[in-house]
Structure 1
């Protein structure tokens, strides 16, 4: 495997950093594309075991820059493209940033891959592209509904990537995770939001809508699926859901986390955390049959018992004082 180098964009992020760990442990040679900044920060990669990190080649750049993207991709055989601007609330008032990063960034990736004749491009989508479920479980044929500028940018990015498969026979695959959670996740996501507020001693937890349901996948399972996608030839030109086929409401999720943390809390509706009415995605529940068939992948954390096991590991990580110090629990992060 060391003869082939894998480029991971968004390697400094939540899922990306876990994926880098996973790939190095499996023996892959990894080049990690991180967002350039004047602080010389490599994001979550800075927290990895130093022995493991020595095995990783770091490239600092910006996916919005086609020249840097092509330079980063030079010498690589395959690319796992995870770099994206995430977060739905921020997309309401800064949509152009999403167009530039998610759509233009993806164009830069596939164009460079075409010019350099890469063996495989794995592009990361999101379950948000489906919008509120029209039927469940949601399979890959479900209609796409852009209920936020963020989801619209991801739909466009997905289609841009697929267009290079149809137009130029570029070996592109789309991996579409449902709601991934675990250590290192941004506090803009609901699970870290709940955990950090409880860990901060809050008795009243500020949240948005409690009625939506989500299909939560533990991050180690998501990373394992991406790793399997590298060696799966049958996925070229296809879109594949990653989920657990289990849904839970935000209201019940709060109860599960509070129980695991032995906390007596109340939930307060914070108006600024509510999405516009037609923008809220009310239900997401995956059909992961294609992932089972084509990736030979099945999440280890399944159903309520699996969710609880993943939540417990996530809570333990967030409760560590060094990790807790990196989060601003008292500030709403859009």
Structure 2
């Protein structure tokens, strides 16, 4: 049985993933608080910037969480300010770990969300947690550095690192490719501009992702690094075809050279066997099901 009195603190609680994470935890009886950089009126919301070490310490000292799920990050790879990746993803995470260490008790589990982007341009095959790290952009380097910094706290804090592959769902920003494609189909646009159509990605449904995170913090596998992924890849061409089939709408795809990234990771496919070893049977819905949910959402 879960101790439903457990208090969970989510960083990035106002973000896409944070919203689903909070719902998942509340649905399973947890007391949920959240840290966000913007003001908020949801119960248990604390406004604090990851750059503000003292604000983080004050928040952690007050909440005294049993579990911390760290989702706050600059995550859009095409983000214009490269330094922001390091300020938030590396220095901000270090500030958080310091605040957790200073709060006066040892939590049950600290989940740090990294990224499968740390694997970089894998030539072929399925990527496991022992695959070599070869980050190909500043976002990925910042996440790899975050993981390295977290290891320095491994003796003091029960840290677990997740490496989610691409995931999506209703409410994700149109900056990301699948929501961009879905939004074009929802408004029945005549054409869409994309970059490389032959980029293959492993997509998870955000609802399955937050279920995996909840079950991981319940198992408390301290010191583990865990891929969260479907083990199936789809190209952007596949995504377009699926959307056309669901909606009955045909769209002209125009390749815009400005959208073709020099350091594009050509194929990312994950191995979720560590996740299943730790939490048992787990599946993400097929991509068609996730895209239908997104296309038909109110």
1:261 is the counterpart of 2:247 = yes
Query: What are the Cα deviations for residues 115-145 of structure 1, in whole angstroms up to 9, with x where unaligned?
Result: 2232321000111111122442110011111
Q: As a proportion of its length, which structure holds more helix?
A: 1
CA-CA distance at 1:111 after TM superposition:
1.3
User: Over aligned residue pairs, what C-alpha RMSD do you find?
Assistant: 1.4
Whole-Å separation in 1 of the counterparts to 2:237 and 2:279: 33
Alignment of 1:276-315 (within 5 A): 276=262, 279-301=263-285, 306-315=286-295
Whole-Å separation in 1 of the counterparts to 2:271 and 2:289: 21
Structure 1 counterpart of 2:145:
156
Choose the corresponding residue for 1:201, options 188, 194, 215. 188
Query: What are the Cα deviations for residues 83-139 of structure 1, in whole angstroms up to 9, with x where unaligned?
Result: 00011111xx41111110000111011111222232321000111111122442110
Q: Is the 8 A contact 2:124 2:267 kept in 1?
A: no
Which ranges in structure 2 are unaligned for 5 or more consecutive residues?
none
State the secondary structure of the residue aligned to 1:141. Answer: coil
State the secondary structure of the residue aligned to 1:175. Answer: strand
1:138 is the counterpart of 2:123 = no
Choose the corresponding residue for 2:71, options 66, 69, 82. 82
Go from structure 1 to structure 2 and tell me whether the alpha carbon gap of 1:263 and 1:138 turns closer, same or farther (over 3 Å shift): same
Whole-Å separation in 2 of the counterparts to 1:82 and 1:41: 17
Alignment of 1:108-119 (within 5 A): 108-116=95-103, 117-119=106-108
Whole-Å separation in 2 of the counterparts to 1:162 and 1:261: 47
Structure 1 counterpart of 2:232:
246
1:70 is the counterpart of 2:57 = yes
**TM-score of the two chains, using structure 2 as the length reference:** 0.94
1:232 is the counterpart of 2:219 = yes
Which ranges in structure 1 are unaligned for 5 or more consecutive residues?
43-52, 321-334
Structure 1 counterpart of 2:18:
16
The total of aligned residue pairs comes to: 292
Q: Is the 8 A contact 2:230 2:284 kept in 1?
A: no
Q: Is the 8 A contact 2:8 2:66 kept in 1?
A: yes
CA-CA distance at 1:280 after TM superposition:
0.3
Query: What are the Cα deviations for residues 27-73 of structure 1, in whole angstroms up to 9, with x where unaligned?
Result: 0000011112xxx457xxxxxxxxxx5xx411111112111212222
Whole-Å separation in 2 of the counterparts to 1:66 and 1:213: 39
